[in-house]
Amino acid sequence: MDGGSTDGTLEILHRYRDRLRWISEPDGGQAAAINKGWRFTRGEIIAYLNADDTYLPSAIKHVVEYLNAHPQVDAVYGDCDYVDEQGKFLRPYPTRPYHYDELVRATLDYIPQPSMFIRRRAAKKIGYLDETLACAMDFDCWLRLGKHYTIAYLPEQLSTLRLHPAAKSLKHLKRFASELIRIYYNLFAFPDLPHPIRRLRREAMSNIYYRASSCAFWGGDHWSARRYALIGLWYAPWNLRRQFLLAMTGEIGQAFVEKWRGNPYLLGA
């Protein structure tokens, strides 16, 4: 699904027209384009791969074999490596075994998007991706999917995820922050949210505000970073995180950390 590229993408697509189907036209954003692509296909298993990421050899084979052997599993994800613009290894994605309550509570998206594969039946039930989101639609999808469907972890390297300054996850950190907060307000507004998950609300909301604070901080919006950090502390006063202290330092703290460590987001933190 191409949004009308002018960078040579169409010339490459034409070379592979006998091996794949593609559409190039203006769209309503990334989530809308992915949803359209998913509805355009017929397979039982769906996934999406952004233009600067890659599947590793045999990734699809391993996923199909796993889902065929585990019909009760509705989605499966594997490991992933961060790479730079030239494809050089940076560090492993912080993947871990799946526990829905931990995903909600910690607010850390340990499911690498290019290594996630979903059965169409489950994706259709939750309504695919939320097209009002531009940055965090994958994390929102995992949270909605995990409420009622089984997600499994396959400890195999399946993909690479490219990090560079122009990547959307780094370029639009301020918008990412606001979307994270909206996703969590929506999550805890669901009337069918299991009671054990609902009991995590205060800690989860504290953590998501801290995560939003970190995104705003590294996105250069230090005023919002402080505000989010204060709200995170208000939700759970016992949950004082290092993001709170960093947010209070503003531009001075950002310059100090970048000088001695580099931007943690660019390094895949």
pLDDT (tens digit, 9 = 90+) per residue, 163-199?
876 666 666 788 999 999 999 999 999 998 999 999 9
Assess whether pLDDT exceeds 70 at residue 114.
yes
Assess whether pLDDT exceeds 50 at residue 268.
no
For 47-54, the CB contacts below 8 A with 24+ separation are: 47/114, 47/116, 47/117, 47/118, 48/113, 49/114, 49/159, 50/113, 50/114, 51/9, 52/162, 52/164, 52/167, 53/114, 53/159, 53/160, 53/161, 53/162, 54/87, 54/114, 54/159, 54/160, 54/162
Cα end-to-end span (Å), the chain: 29
Q: How far apart are CA 96 and CA 249, in angstroms?
A: 31
pLDDT of residue 63: 98
pTM: 0.91
**Cβ of 162: how many Cβ atoms within 10 Å?**
19
Which of 71, 82, 47 minimizes the C-alpha distance to 159? 82
pLDDT of residue 192: 87
Assess whether pLDDT exceeds 70 at residue 269.
no
Assess whether pLDDT exceeds 80 at residue 211.
yes
Assess whether pLDDT exceeds 70 at residue 266.
no
**74-87 mean pLDDT:** 95
pLDDT of residue 246: 84
Per-residue tokens: 201 = 């609300």
pLDDT tens digits, residue range 227-253? 999 999 999 999 988 889 888 888 877
Kindly report the CATH number that applies to the domain delimited by 43-164. 3.90.550.10
Q: Give the CA diameter of the chain.
A: 59
Assess whether pLDDT exceeds 80 at residue 15.
yes
Q: Where are the domains of the chain?
A: 43-164, 169-260
**2-13 mean pLDDT:** 86
Q: How far apart are CA 140 and CA 184, in angstroms?
A: 9
pLDDT tens digits, residue range 95-107? 999 999 999 999 9
Assess whether pLDDT exceeds 60 at residue 267.
no
Assess whether pLDDT exceeds 90 at residue 206.
yes
pLDDT of residue 263: 62
